[in-house]
Amino acid sequence: MKQKLTIAAALLLTLTAAVAEDKVALKTELPTPLFVGTPVPIKGIPNLDPAPSGKRADFLVPAGAVNLAKGKKVSASDNEPVMGTLDLITDGDKAGDEGSWVELGPGKQWAQIDLEKESEIFAVLVWHFHSQARAYLGVVVQVSNDPEFKKDVTTVFNNDYSNTHGFGAGKDNPYIESYQGKLIDAKGVKGRYVRLYSAGNTTNKLNHYTEVEVFGKPAA
């Protein structure tokens, strides 16, 4: 029995090593931090994703995975943003200053990125607004091949515990915005469209996007 377990563990290690060989650390350029921690820091809270203070631990993605969202077309539930334009979401500018982000109207809103072809998605990196400690409410990220998001929808992140958007109570943790962005593990889900929902934030009812990066590979 002990021998079998040893063999199984060795096999698992070999397999992991093989898989790891194909994986590389996700690389992205980080903007200048505009604040470090909250003015009165929130710390030590279980189930709350902390705002990273140092460098985030490497997140591995398959070699060849790139930011598929860069320069791609963005649509939104609010076609006339309060401030900025939707193209700011995929323009590569992650600075926290005014002029780098788009402000969608109050309450429930979504923004959607068209990757132009079905892709295998490994990670979604979201910067809502990082010049101040705040959290966005009811954050849900979905992937689908349907631009209307009516069928074949995969939810890769949902911290909408009060079910504001109607996708069911989310189990993911709330988090405080930071210059490092929120990294969401998409686990290789396939789809052409990425849609991000939110329902205001802890400072006001508006919804902001500075940048969204979608790391993946076009599906074969």
Partner 1 sequence: MRLGSGYIAAAFTKRIPITTPSSQKLRWLLFFALAALALLVRLPQLAQRPMHTDEAVNAYITGQLLAGEAYHYDNVDRHGPALYALAVPLAWLAGAKDLPTLDETTLRLGPVLVGALTVLLFALIVPETGLAAALIAALLWAVAALPVFYSRYFIHETLFSATTFGFLLGGWRWLNTASLAGAALTGLTAALLLAGKETAVLSFAGAAAAVAWWWFERRWLRNEHSGNPAPVFIRWKAVALALGFFLVAVALLFSWGGQNWQALADLFRAGPHTLNRAAGQGHEKPAAYYLQLIGHGWSGRAFLVLTLFGAASVAVDGWRTFRRPPRHPLALRLCLVYALAIGVIYSAIPYKTPWLALNLWLPWSVLAAVGAAALWRSARFVAVRAGLVLGAASVLLATGYDTRQWVFCKLDSEKNPYAYSQPGEDLLRLQEFFSAPPRQDAHIAVIGADAWPLPWYLRHCPRVGYWQPGQDPGQADYYITLPDAAEQLQPKLPGWRPDLYGVRPGVLLVVWLPPDFQP
CB of 91 to partner 1, least distance (A): 24
CB of 205 to partner 1, least distance (A): 6
CB of 166 to partner 1, least distance (A): 12
Quick one: tokens of 91? 């323009």
- Report which of 209, 178, 203, 201 is spatially closest to residue 69, judged by C-alpha positions: 209
**Strands 154-158 and 207-209: what pairing?**
unpaired
CB of 134 to partner 1, least distance (A): 6
Quick one: tokens of 14? 């070999």
134 binds partner 1 (CB under 8 A): yes
162 binds partner 1 (CB under 8 A): yes
40 binds partner 1 (CB under 8 A): yes
Residue 75 corresponds to which amino acid? S
| Interacting residue with partner 1 among 23, 24, 35, 167 (CB under 8 A) | 35
CB of 113 to partner 1, least distance (A): 26
The residues in 174-203 that bind partner 1, with binding defined as CB under 8 A, are 174, 176, 201-203
Question: How far, in Å, CA of 103 to CA of 109, rounded?
Answer: 10
Question: How far, in Å, CA of 71 to CA of 28, rounded?
Answer: 15
Question: How far, in Å, CA of 17 to CA of 107, rounded?
Answer: 46
| Interacting residue with partner 1 among 23, 24, 33, 48 (CB under 8 A) | 48
Question: How far, in Å, CA of 113 to CA of 89, rounded?
Answer: 9
Total number of residues shown for the chain: 220
- With contacts defined by CB under 8 A, how many residues of the chain interact with partner 1? 28
Binding site for partner 1 (CB under 8 A): 35, 38-48, 132-135, 161-163, 169, 173-174, 176, 201-205
